[in-house]
């Protein structure tokens, strides 16, 4: 296998099968998989509220088979510097971000991967909210 380094970024809140399948697919693309996990502070800047604290989310990712390096994601701008720092060959992210990172094609290959159908952290949060509403209305 040709040595290739892959990098991806995400919040990875409420870790689920879609996250696992994404990381498994990415690992098959290369020999080294780097995962950047969004910090709570960065998520606040993006207007995202996580249920699982950063320290726990990063610990989960560090313990996933096939993940070689885990780093914090603190800003939008760090992607290009991470790609250069870690000599990344492929930047990959879910296709819900399609076209948003095409500027990185100047320094590496950019892949937008199809999401796992029927599952997302946002959907899980909505389901939790609905189940709480049902419980309180009983």
Contacts of 4 by beta carbon, 8 Å cutoff, 6+ apart: 29, 30, 31, 32, 89, 90
Tokens coding 120: 């997302």
- 125 belongs to the catalytic site: no
Q: Pick the catalytic residue from 28, 46, 129, 130.
A: 46
Q: Which of 27, 28, 48, 100 is catalytic?
A: 48
- CB-based burial label for 19 (10 Å; 0-12, 13-18, 19+): buried
Rounded CA separation 29/82 (Å): 18
Q: Please confirm, yes or no, whether 138 is among the known catalytic residues.
A: no
SS3 97: helix
Residues forming the active site? 46, 48
């Amino acid at each position: 296998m040709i040595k290739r380094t892959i990098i991806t970024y995400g919040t990875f809140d409420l870790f689920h099968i879609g996250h696992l399948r994404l990381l498994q697919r990415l690992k098959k693309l290369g020999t080294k998989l780097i995962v950047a996990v969004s910090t709570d502070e960065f998520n606040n800047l993006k207007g995202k509220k996580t249920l699982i604290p950063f320290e726990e989310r990063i610990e989960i990712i560090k313990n996933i088979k096939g993940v070689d390096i885990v780093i914090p994601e603190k800003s939008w701008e760090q992607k290009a510097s991470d790609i250069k720092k870690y000599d990344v060959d492929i930047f990959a992210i879910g296709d819900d971000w399609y076209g948003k990172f095409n500027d990185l094609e100047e320094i590496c290959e950019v892949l937008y991967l199809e999401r796992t159908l029927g599952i997302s952290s946002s959907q899980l949060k909505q389901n939790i909210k609905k189940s709480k509403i049902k419980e309180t209305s009983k």
